[in-house]
Amino acid sequence: MKNKWLSGPYIAWMLLFTIIPLGVVVYFAFTDSATGSFTLHNISEIADFLPTFLRSIWLSIAATVICLIIGYPVAYYIAHCEPRKQRMLQMLIMLPMCMSFLLRTLAWVALLEDTGIINSALSALGLKTLPLIRNNGAVILGMVYNYLPYMILPLYTVIMKIDPRLIEAAQDLGCNRKQVFSKVTLPLSVPGIVSGITMVFVPAVSTFYISQKLGPSDTVMIGDVIEYQSKKANNMNVGAAMSLVLMILIFICVGIMNRFTNESDEESMVTL
């Protein structure tokens, strides 16, 4: 009975900062802004923003894939370093996260803009300047930079937990390095891959500041629309409806990824 009371702070935290806010979002999503009566009009208006949803998903998937391609080798390297070097590399990866998200994005603006540091250096060398900002590539770059640590850390944690005896057993059975990686390390690191994908995709699909500062004027993500509806258009109900649909989409993606993780774990256990 005493142990149950220890969960009290957690339950209170979840109730105040998760359950109640979600209830408020659901309430505004299904009520009229003028009368407060029940309506589905807010949900129906989301159809007008379908291209924005698709664009947000596409850019987020691209950023997530790039984070995985970059993050897996980095996590694998860190996991196989000596402990002192591991702590230093972990600190370097987490160090940018100690800085404000807004400042990190503005730093890329200073680097990529037409009169920024990179193009100024190219001009000084007599080279042609490049269109580095106000395009989808810059938006993806900003998301990769900001969310890459969320991919590396889960991968590093999972790879570190792989039992070295399994690798030794595979080597004793005649596997070379590539076979050990493909048959042992990679299957056992699937939970870290899924966790990293989830932790990158979820904030990327709902981001808004990065697209405003690095993207072109016609690249609007769903986070931008939600912010506009809530702050500038004073239409909290439509913004809540969009947030609800986005939340459901994220829950579906997380559920699919978790199911994929469970199936992969079972297959790995059978193979081993």
Q: What is the pLDDT of residues 64-111, one digit of tens each?
A: 999 999 999 999 999 999 989 999 999 999 888 888 888 899 999 999
Q: Is 56 domain-assigned? A: yes
Going by pLDDT thresholds of 50, 70 and 90, the confidence category of residue 269 is very low
Q: Is the torsion defined by CA of 259, 262, 268, 270 positive or negative?
A: negative
Whole-number CA gyration radius for the chain: 23
Q: Is 8 domain-assigned? A: no
Arithmetic mean of pLDDT, 157-164: 92
- Count Cα atoms within 13 angstroms, Cβ side, for 18: 7
- The CATH number assigned to the domain holding 108 equals 1.10.3720.10
Arithmetic mean of pLDDT, 22-28: 91
Q: Is 17 domain-assigned? A: no
Arithmetic mean of pLDDT, 148-175: 91
Going by pLDDT thresholds of 50, 70 and 90, the confidence category of residue 272 is very low
Q: Is 19 domain-assigned? A: no
Percentage with pLDDT > 70 across the chain = 94
Q: Is 3 domain-assigned? A: no
Is 158's pLDDT higher than 50?
A: yes
pLDDT at 189: 92
Is 55's pLDDT higher than 70?
A: yes
Contact between 226 and 208 (Cβ < 8 Å): yes
Q: How far is CA 90 from CA 55, 96, 182, in A?
A: 33, 11, 25
pLDDT at 137: 93
The closest of 54, 41, 80 to 159, measured between CA atoms, is 80
Contact between 151 and 67 (Cβ < 8 Å): yes
Q: Is 35 domain-assigned? A: no
Is 1's pLDDT higher than 70?
A: no
**How far is residue 6 CA from its own chain's centroid?**
31
The closest of 207, 216, 210 to 142, measured between CA atoms, is 210
**How far is residue 200 CA from its own chain's centroid?**
2
Q: Is 254 domain-assigned? A: yes
Q: Is 177 domain-assigned? A: yes
The structure tokens 């792989």 sit at 162
| Domain coverage including residue 149 | 50-236+246-268
Q: What share of the chain is helix, strand, coil (3-state, %, to 5)?
A: 80, 0, 20
Is 263's pLDDT higher than 60?
A: no
Arithmetic mean of pLDDT, 3-26: 85
* pTM for this model (two decimals): 0.86
34-43 pLDDT, tens per residue? 788 888 888 8
Of 67-76, 106-115, 211-220, 253-262, the one with minimum mean pLDDT is 253-262
pLDDT at 260: 63
The SS3 of residue 38 is strand
- Give the chain's domain count: 1
pLDDT at 64: 95
Going by pLDDT thresholds of 50, 70 and 90, the confidence category of residue 265 is low
pLDDT at 252: 83
